[in-house]
Each structure stands twice: as structure tokens, then as C-alpha cells.
Structure 1
Amino acid sequence: MSYLEEYTRKVLSGEIVACRRIKQVCTMLLDKLVHPEKYDPWVFDEKLTEKPIDFIETFCKQAQGKMGTPIRLELFQKAKFQAIFGFVHKDTGFRQYNECLTIEGRKNGKSSESAAVNLYLLMGDGEGAPEIYNIATMLDQAKIGWEYAYKMVKQSPVLRKHIRKRISDLYFPHNMGIIKPLASNSNSLDGLNAHGVTIDELSAIKNRDIYDLMKQSMSARQQPLLFCITTNGFVRDGIFDAQYDYACAVLDGKVKDERFLPFIYELDDRKEWDKEDCWIKANPGLGSIKSISFLRDCVAKAKNDPAFKPTVMVKDFNMKENANSAWLTWDEINNQEEFDFRSLGFRYGIGGFDASETTDLTAAKALCMRPGDDKIYVKSMYWIPEEVLRKIDADGNRRERDNVPYLLWEQQGLLRTTPGNKIDKRCILEWFKALRDEDDLYILWIGYDPWHIEEALLNEFIGEFGKDSMIKIRQGVQTLSYPMKSLKGDLAAKKIVFNKNPIDMWNLSNLEIRTDINGNIQPVKGIDNRRRIDGAMALIDAYIVLQDKMDEYSNLI
């Protein structure tokens, strides 16, 4: 019985405790072993898998801890390598999988695996002049994995005889191959011909530009491999979330991609974080590679230290969170409920907006409720200066402003532009008027920060919606603290339904707070000025008005 069959059968029988996502991939892989005729032209060749496993266990040595001792792969690792290297085309013999994504808790052997795969692709894969790249956003990050591979070489008598360290790479003269660190801020990413690309900590990559370019750089190779192994992270709506969602879609059968192989080790439920028998779901090397006593200590500390808990949830159990200092947890923000605005027949709404001058977004909200339903339904719109967006498009800058996909959001109708290089704030008025005139939604009151609206425009709003329609929301502790605490509770209870709007979720995840000695809170913007909070502020303004006017609003609806 192969390692792959042994592991998948033990997972599916319950002998090895595993999460739903691992059971999904094991079900698929075992079916490929048992019913190969269904997967023509791909076949499993167990003999091919002996080479990478033997190479790693024979020549690769520990680069940290018990330095110089042989690496002994665990069953879950051997099974993964057999899946990657064992399924090949029946005619050409080339590998089926050219990309493997592994998400697992920290300290489960990720760095050793990544370095060992680097060295095997360099020396043992039968490729002429292979180019192997460790990639990251910054060169210093990329060098971490590369230096780990070099330390592994230094600890191995055989490898250090054949691999030379040069200024910017590791060089294998026998086939003229290299292992090299590479970052998105490198002078040029053109002209590369990658045979292998490894990413240790995808969650640390803040934009997908280098990932996409390196993926394309493998197109001339016959059996390239993009090997990514990572924990979850605190950056939301980036490349990690995109790859995670893609992997889930593949496992769920929503996307067909027979060249992509995901292994997602995570808790099935956030409530499992203090259940010791569930920890292995996110930590396949628990007890053999990762110390269970150390994890036990971390969980104990997290129970007594709320500031430490998000790190444990993200890095040990692969649960989504945003920044440690954020006002809201990702679980509080993440509402997957959707609705069709027009079909619900809303007649009256409460507005709110946050206007900007140039660099920030401008955001507007309409909050609506229905009789007998305590949920608050949110309709949103965002604006950005047209020159900003067109410059992104003209430059081909795929990282985009603020490291978020503004161009895509515009195409999806979630974001609009205003002419020129600064926001024309009349766009907000026109949007509320369109809700009234085209969607038959009458906006009763509109909450706004008086700091960013001119008297002339304010008078236009009053002319359209009435002299009592515009409600000033002073941006101080006395005005904001209690409503924000109430809003946080409603978000956690999934009573705020914003149609999975990614800009709303991004803005909410960016909002941080300042707390005074009396426990009062008010919003603040973090030190990273690319993390926009305008949508969150517009929601807060509208929510305050809704709470203040709830009795009158309820009578009208």
C-alpha cells in the first residue's frame, strides 16, 4: 500500500482526525487510486514517488534544532509528495499537478519542506538548467526560505560538495541550475523561465503581482511546480484569501482545475480552538514535529490574554482574522448572507456618507429594514477620482492603489469614478436621488460628518430631502462610543447584511479604535494610510441616525 493510500484511508476512516477540507482532498485522491479509469489520461506511478522521498530523507539534513540529523518525513508529508509527484500523464510521463497549496499551522515543518522541495527540483527532477525561485513581496522575506535551503546544504556532506553559494543564488554546476530569492521589488521579473517556484508564507505577500508573473514564467517548462506552504494571516482580501477561496471552490467542485492540488489543514469551527483532540486538524505534525505542550501553553495564554488570542487563532489554527489592533474580528465582519435589493420592496431608508477630498474613498450607505425582521440591510456605493483609476489601468500596475482591486470593483459596479483628480461630492447627492427616483426608496434622514461638506452642497441635500433630513454626526467619543458598541454587537449577530460587499468588508477590517480611561471608544485610522475606513465611517453615521430615529422609522415601514 502506498503512503498516499494509507494516509487517505486513515483520514477517511477517522483513525487520523482531520478537517472537512482534508477529507475532501483525501476522498478525491483515494478515488483516483481506486478508480483510475475515471481520470484518464492521468495515472499514478508509485515508483516515481520514491525518488523525491528518498532524496529528501537521504541527502537533506535538519538546518535548525538538531542540525545535521536526517529529515524523516511524516506520513502526511509522504502522502502529499506522492500526490504531487506520482500522478502523471500516461503518454508523456509528465506530472499532472503544477501547483500545490498547503495551509497548515505554524511549526509543522513548513520551512524544511519548502527547502527540501527547492533542492529536489534543482538536483533530482531531471530538468536542464532549472531555475528555482523563492518569492516574496520584499527581498529580505524571499531570502528567508533561500537561506534555509543554504543551511540545509551546509549540513549535508553530499549536497555541499555539489552546490555552490554565489552572491545571489545557489548554483548546481552539473545541470547549470539555480535557486534564487526574488521579490516584487526586484529590478525585472521579465525573461524568467522558472521550473520551480516556492512560497513560504503566502499570507505575507501583500499583492498578487509577483505570484501571477511567476506563475506565467513557468509556461515553457514541461512539468513545472509552484509549491506554496503557508499559515493564515492578518491581511484580508489579498492573494492569500483569493487562493484560499479558489482552493475551496476546487474542493467543492465549483471550479474544475486538474492541475491544482490543495491541502487545507484548519479547524472546522472556531469553537474547536480549546478542544485538544481537534488541534491536529490544523496541525498535521502535532506531537511529532510540533510540540503539543507548547501549543497547550499558547492556548492557555490566549484564554487569559485576549490580545494574544487572534495570533493563536490565525497562526496555530488557520482561522481568519484581520489585524490584531482592529476594532472588529474577522468573524464579526464575515457575513455571507445575500439579498436582492429590489425584490425586498424597501420604501424607506436611512442614509449616511463619508466624503473625501482626493486620496481617500468616498462612501455612501442606505440602511433599510422590513416589518417583523430585525436585520438591517445595507446598500453601498463608493467613489474614487477617475484620473486615479485610469492611471492604474494605463500603467498596467496590477498591484494597484492601496493593494486592492479597484479596477475589478469598478467592473462589478461596486465602485464609481468622478471626473478629474479629486472627488466631486455631488456624486453622493446624485446617488441618493437615484435611489429615490429610480428605485422608489425614499431617504428619510442622512447622517454626515460636517467637517467634509460645503454649505452649498448641504443646501442642495436639504432642497432634495427636506430641511430636517440632514443629521450632523460629530466624530467624538460622546457621539460615537455607545452606537459603535451596539453596531459591533449587531455585526457579530449577523444582523447587518451588506451583500458580501468586499469593499465594505475591507473598510470594516481596517478600522481601529482608541479607548479612553472610562472605556469609551472612538474610531481611528491605522498608521498604514492605504487601509481605507471611509465605508465603515459612513455605516457608523447611518447606524447612529437609525438608532436615534428607530421609533419613527418603524412606524413608517
Structure 2
Amino acid sequence: MIQSHQNVLTNPYEYQGNHSFLLEYMDKCKKGEIIIGHELKIQLDKLLDYFEDDEIKIEFDDAQKRMHFIENECRHFEAPFSGQPFLLDLFQKAFIEAIYIFKIYDDEAGRYVRLHQDVLFLVARKNGKTPLISAICLSEWFCGEMGTKILCSSNDYEQAGLMLEAINAMREESKTLSKVTRSNIKGIFFGNPKKPKKRGKFSYQNKGHIKKISAKTGAKEGKNIKVGAVDEVHELADNTSIMPIRQALSTQDEPLFIELTTEGVVNDGYLDGRLKEARQALHGEIDRPRWLIWMYTQDSESEVWQDEKSWHKSNPGMGTIKKKSFLRKMIEEAQTSKSMRVYVMSKDFNIKQNNATAWLTPDDIKNEETFDIEMFRNKFGIGGVDLSKTGDLASARMILLDPDTNKKYTIQKYFIPESKLETLTKEDLNKYKEWIREGFMEVSPGNENDFSLVTKFYLDLYKNYGIRPYKVGYDKWSALYWVKEMEEFGFECQKVSQEYGSMSEAMRLVEADLKSNLLVYNDNPVDKYCFENTALEMNSKMEMRPIKVQGQDNKKIDGAVTNIIAYKVYIDNRNEFMQLARR
């Protein structure tokens, strides 16, 4: 817990004649007026100790100058705050003070320098993190020394551009700032084009600039910057884009490296390692005195569901920046959708979600309804295949629609190479043999799946029941010869990539239909097995795709994949297919 020191008790908000927003924030957190998580409490305890540390000098000038600059020169540029002054919340002022007020003597520089040179700012989405860091960067550019160079970075150029655009929008909103600066496609620079001969800090003479760079941009070495700000750190797979930026700060006496992010959905990425290090530093397991670790995190996932007040722990801007009603809506959706739950827990509450979690619950999967294939004699369907020569199962599927109930009925067949049966565990072998006896699975002789058996599945449906595929979706893997064979029989095929953008919408619809009992898979045990083994993987755009549950590489998900592929074809051709289904 935050401790009370003697000089703080006299007047908790004053220190050396200065009003300290950091001390005010600490005091209100201690009293419970502001709710924060345990990890931020640990950091605040460390900062409070600095006020009693003889080796640390407390100076408020740099922090006050930057806060005054932000509130008087910066304006918001996005609705609903567009055009309004950038009035800092208490938590934002406390954060800025924590960066700037603590000084330590540096023997190499021969003077006192800023203690915190690395900053990790972890906060849930829509709490104003990018505008805040953008405002700090702009204030550093104007209030710092002449020649200050700032680099905005992220995983991709577009995201890096968001911070630069925020900085530039604030610059343009101020008549004072826009008069002495200019911007172009390369970045933001000092100097008024109408007064090119003017001298001084706010002229062409000042070679300081603000530019952007991304993880995908080459030639990052060789730069010499004072401030590096990396947005959406959670998207980075490794530190290859981070280290050149940190290296570019190495010549400065008082560099400032800021990482800002929410929790992520990238597994074993850069942020996972960084947060592990940060937590070790907070608990004293490693020594990182120059690192300010400012993390708004929940203490448990259970409190998110049980106590709305706890939401402040990861959302310090709730009520002023972020609406509580928005969070309530997200929680309601997360209760009924696994994909939404993964996204909301990670992005709105900074709780890391493990991709080993299954995509569907047993209740979602359970559907014992069966049907007679004769219901769909002479009807059109939509096909989906997942082809594998040797490793996984090969799976073929036909989805048929009842336009009156909007229910989708699926006919499926699985294929496995004969040699693959020899590698199965005793438990799996008994299960597979039962599926083969019952006709759910067919064995291909030898070491490879015979794709002509997949073609025969569709031909038999047409010959025996008059059921014809409108289109058959397939992944590009190992499919070229098979597609040619299908087209020779007059079956049209559509390529469906197993990537986020292609899989996401279809995967959500499969999930929704299963929950609503609108997808009837004829109580097929192999389908059920595949659904149980399927996990979801999400990216930062809230797009999802199916993967195997982590640590269960021997399990199969092919049946789930063919459902998703067929649904993708259905979504892309919904209007035409609905007309055919009504015939």
C-alpha cells in the first residue's frame, strides 16, 4: 500500500512550495477516492520514497512548463472534444510529473539529469493514451532544448502516422505554434516559410524535427534522436524495431523513450517479455531505477464481472474520457461471445488472454438434432474443403439452407491416409476406427490423402440426391490439381485464405449460428471433436481465425475449418445463393 511520510502528512499536496499533482494523486489513491490496481500502487510507493531520498533532487520546473504548454497551446482534434483545450486530468498530470520532477546526478554529464529515461505506459483503449503522449512529445519539442528530434514509431506505418497526425493536428490548432513551424510528408519542422531568414529557436535555424517510422521501415540505424515514442507495443512480434530506436537515443544526456500500449493478443510477442521484465522490476527482482512503469491493470478477471468500480483500475479516464456505458455494453457482449470476451478483456481491461482457451463452450457445440438428407433432394448447397496430403485430416462439407427457418444443415465426410492410423495413440486409434466403421471417415490407401475421394463426395451427392454445390470453398494449400478436377465435372470453386481478414466474419457467424442452434451438423462426432479442439487467435483489429489449442498439436480442427470456409463462401455469395435455395 502507499505509505504516508512525515513531510507529506503536513500538507499532502505541497512540496518545497510547489503544488504536486503527483502527491495529490497518491493521496487520493491512498484514501480510496481514486481506485487503482496493485501494480500501480507499487510504482507509486517507489516514487513516494524518492521524496525522502537524499540522492534524488526534486525539481518541478520542467513538468510545470510542459503541463502549462499542453493546457494552453494544445487542443483536441477529434470528436467529441474537437477544438477544446487539452485540459489534463489528475492522473495525466501525475504521470507527467513522475516523468520530469525526479533528478539524479550524472557523473558523465557532470550535472543533474532526469531520473526516468524509459517509460512504459499501459492503459486500456480509449483512455486518451495516444493524444496524451502526442501532447507530451509536442511539449518536449517546444519546451526542450534546441535541435530536439522526435521519432514516432509503431508496428506499421499507418499506426505510427496516428501519433504524428495527433501531434500535427495539435500544432495546427494553435496559431502560436503553427506560425513558427511547418509540416510536409516527411514530418514536422521548425521555421515559418514566410520568414525563412528569421533566427532563433523557432526558425529554420533549429534543425529539430518530428518524424514517424514503423517496424516495417528499413534503415532505422544511424538516427540521432532525443525522444522515441512507440505506440501499440502489443503488436510487435520482437524487439527488432525497438532496439534501433533505443540505440539512436544513446548520445543524449536526457533521452526519453516512451512505450505506450494496451494489453495485446499477440502471443509470445515483444510486450509479453517487456511486461515480465516490468513486473520483475516492480517487485525488486531486477534493478531498473531509470524505468518508470506506469501500468493501469486489474487485479483479477473476476472483479471485472463482479464490481464496476474496479473498472477504474484499467480505465483511469472513465467518466471524463471514456464512458462507463460503453464498458457496460462491451461486458454484455463479452458474456455471450467468446471472441468478444478475448478482445474486451485484453483491450478494455488489460487482462492478457491465452490462445489456449477454446473457441466454443460445450453448450455451444452440443446440438443433437439430426435430419434426413432427402429433405434437400435437388437443392443447391455450398461446399467447403480443407485438404491435407499427409498430416491433418482432409475434410469435405456441403452446407444446405432452409430459407424458411434460416437453419443451415451440413453433410460432411473426413479422409485420412492409411499410414497415419499407425501413428495414432491407442485412444485415438480406437476412436478413428469407430468413425471409419460408422462411415464418417474414409481411408485413403498409402501415405497420402487421395483428393479424388473428395471429388467423389460431391459427385455422389449430385448423382444420388441431385444436390449440387453452387460453389466450393477451398484453401490454396495442395489444391491446384484438385480444383482442376472439380472444374472438369462442372463444379465452381472459390479460394478462401485462412487468414484473419478472410476467416473473421465467417468464424463469428459460425459461432453465432451454433449458439442459436441454427447450424445442424447431424450430431456428427468428428465435427464435435474438431469444434472442441479449435481455439481462436485475434489480431489488434479484432479479426479472428481458427487455430489449434496451444499444446494440442495432435488434435484436429479440420471440420471446424471447413465450416468456416463454407460460411465464407456463403457470406460472399449470400444473395445469389438465397435465390437458389428458395427454388
TM-score normalised by L of structure 2: 0.59
CA contact (8 A) 1:135 1:197 kept: yes
SS in 2 for 1:43: strand
Q: Against the structure 1 CA distance between its residues 96 and 67, is the aligned structure 2 distance closer, same or farther, given a 3 Å change threshold?
A: same
- Partners of 2:47 and 2:210 in 1: CA distance: 31
Q: Give yes or no for the alignment of 1:125 onto 2:128.
A: no
Q: Which letter does structure 2 place at the counterpart of 1:94?
A: V
CA contact (8 A) 1:103 1:231 kept: yes
Q: Which residue of structure 2 lines up, in the alignment, with residue 151 of structure 1?
A: 169
Q: Give yes or no for the alignment of 1:289 onto 2:321.
A: yes
CA contact (8 A) 2:159 2:231 kept: no
- Partners of 2:416 and 2:551 in 1: CA distance: 16
CA contact (8 A) 1:99 1:227 kept: yes
Q: Give yes or no for the alignment of 1:56 onto 2:70.
A: yes
- Aligned match for 1:115, one of 134, 147, 150: 134
Q: Give yes or no for the alignment of 1:238 onto 2:269.
A: yes
CA contact (8 A) 1:525 1:533 kept: yes
SS in 1 for 2:359: coil
Q: Which letter does structure 2 place at the counterpart of 1:86?
A: I
Q: Which letter does structure 2 place at the counterpart of 1:97?
A: H
- Aligned match for 1:104, one of 123, 131, 137: 123
Q: Deviations over 1:409-445 (max 9, x none)?
A: xxxxxxxxxxxxxxxxxxxxxxxxxxxxxxxxxxxxx
Q: Against the structure 1 CA distance between its residues 69 and 471, is the aligned structure 2 distance closer, same or farther, given a 3 Å change threshold?
A: closer
CA contact (8 A) 1:107 1:289 kept: yes
Q: Which letter does structure 2 place at the counterpart of 1:96?
A: L
CA contact (8 A) 1:49 1:86 kept: yes
Q: Which residue of structure 2 lines up, in the alignment, with residue 200 of structure 1?
A: 231
- Aligned match for 1:167, one of 174, 177, 185: 185
Q: Against the structure 1 CA distance between its residues 101 and 478, is the aligned structure 2 distance closer, same or farther, given a 3 Å change threshold?
A: farther
Aligned-pair Cα RMSD in Å: 3.7
Q: Which letter does structure 1 place at the counterpart of 2:68?
A: D
SS in 2 for 1:129: coil
SS in 1 for 2:141: helix
- Aligned match for 1:308, one of 329, 337, 340: 340
Q: Against the structure 1 CA distance between its residues 256 and 7, is the aligned structure 2 distance closer, same or farther, given a 3 Å change threshold?
A: same
Q: Which letter does structure 2 place at the counterpart of 1:160?
A: S
Q: How does 1:257-272 map to 2 (within 5 A)?
A: 257-272=288-303
| C-alpha displacement of 1:19 | 0.6
Q: Deviations over 1:492-518 (max 9, x none)?
A: xxxxxxxxxxxxxxxxxxxx9988734
Q: Which residue of structure 2 lines up, in the alignment, with residue 344 of structure 1?
A: none
Q: Which letter does structure 2 place at the counterpart of 1:256?
A: D
Q: Give yes or no for the alignment of 1:278 onto 2:310.
A: yes
Q: Which residue of structure 1 lines up, in the alignment, with residue 441 of structure 2?
A: none
- Partners of 1:317 and 1:87 in 2: CA distance: 30
Q: Deviations over 1:186-231 (max 9, x none)?
A: 2311111121111221112233210122112110111111112211
Q: Against the structure 1 CA distance between its residues 55 and 476, is the aligned structure 2 distance closer, same or farther, given a 3 Å change threshold?
A: farther
| C-alpha displacement of 1:21 | 0.4
- Partners of 2:220 and 2:391 in 1: CA distance: 29
Q: Deviations over 1:38-85 (max 9, x none)?
A: xx2x32212332111111111111111232221111111111111101
- Partners of 1:103 and 1:476 in 2: CA distance: 51
Q: Deviations over 1:368-409 (max 9, x none)?
A: xxxxxxxxxxxxxxxxxxxxxxxxxxxxxxxxxxxxxxxxxx
Q: Deviations over 1:311-332 (max 9, x none)?
A: 2211111111156996389xxx
- Partners of 1:265 and 1:124 in 2: CA distance: 28
CA contact (8 A) 1:12 1:27 kept: no
SS in 1 for 2:22: helix
| C-alpha displacement of 1:469 | 7.3
- Partners of 1:265 and 1:186 in 2: CA distance: 30
Q: Deviations over 1:445-487 (max 9, x none)?
A: xxxx9859789xx7xx99xxxxx979648889969xxxxxxxx
- Partners of 1:305 and 1:145 in 2: CA distance: 32
Seq. identity, %: 28
CA contact (8 A) 2:152 2:230 kept: yes
- Partners of 1:83 and 1:184 in 2: CA distance: 28
- What is the aligned residue count? 382
Q: Which residue of structure 1 lines up, in the alignment, with residue 53 of structure 2?
A: 36
| C-alpha displacement of 1:93 | 2.5
CA contact (8 A) 2:116 2:291 kept: yes
Q: Against the structure 1 CA distance between its residues 357 and 205, is the aligned structure 2 distance closer, same or farther, given a 3 Å change threshold?
A: farther
- Aligned match for 1:72, one of 84, 87, 90: 87
SS in 1 for 2:135: helix
- Partners of 2:223 and 2:159 in 1: CA distance: 20
CA contact (8 A) 1:68 1:156 kept: no
CA contact (8 A) 2:331 2:344 kept: yes
Greater CA drift, 214-223 or 198-207? 198-207
- Partners of 1:105 and 1:452 in 2: CA distance: 51
SS in 2 for 1:307: helix
Q: Which letter does structure 1 place at the counterpart of 2:143?
A: G
Q: Which residue of structure 1 lines up, in the alignment, with residue 97 of structure 2?
A: 82
Q: Which letter does structure 1 place at the counterpart of 2:318?
A: L
Q: Which residue of structure 2 lines up, in the alignment, with residue 546 of structure 1?
A: none
Q: Which letter does structure 2 place at the counterpart of 1:109?
A: G
Q: Deviations over 1:263-309 (max 9, x none)?
A: 11111110111311111011111111211222222223323444322
Q: Give yes or no for the alignment of 1:141 onto 2:159.
A: yes
Greater CA drift, 188-197 or 171-180? 171-180
- Partners of 1:453 and 1:18 in 2: CA distance: 58
- Partners of 2:73 and 2:255 in 1: CA distance: 22
Q: Which letter does structure 2 place at the counterpart of 1:162?
A: V
Q: Against the structure 1 CA distance between its residues 269 and 130, is the aligned structure 2 distance closer, same or farther, given a 3 Å change threshold?
A: same
CA contact (8 A) 1:123 1:172 kept: no
| C-alpha displacement of 1:13 | 3.1
Q: Which residue of structure 2 lines up, in the alignment, with residue 255 of structure 1?
A: 286
Greater CA drift, 92-101 or 202-211? 202-211
- Partners of 1:86 and 1:359 in 2: CA distance: 60
Q: Which residue of structure 2 lines up, in the alignment, with residue 544 of structure 1?
A: none
Q: How does 1:383-394 map to 2 (within 5 A)?
A: none
Structure 2 gap segments, 5+ residues each: 1-13, 15-19, 192-201, 362-387, 393-414, 437-503, 540-544, 557-583
- Partners of 1:21 and 1:311 in 2: CA distance: 22
CA contact (8 A) 2:534 2:547 kept: no
Q: Against the structure 1 CA distance between its residues 197 and 472, is the aligned structure 2 distance closer, same or farther, given a 3 Å change threshold?
A: same
CA contact (8 A) 1:310 1:324 kept: no
Q: Which letter does structure 1 place at the counterpart of 2:313?
A: K
- Partners of 1:198 and 1:222 in 2: CA distance: 17
- Partners of 1:271 and 1:471 in 2: CA distance: 36
- Partners of 1:196 and 1:452 in 2: CA distance: 61
Q: Against the structure 1 CA distance between its residues 143 and 473, is the aligned structure 2 distance closer, same or farther, given a 3 Å change threshold?
A: farther
Structure 1 gap segments, 5+ residues each: 330-355, 361-448, 463-467, 480-511, 542-557
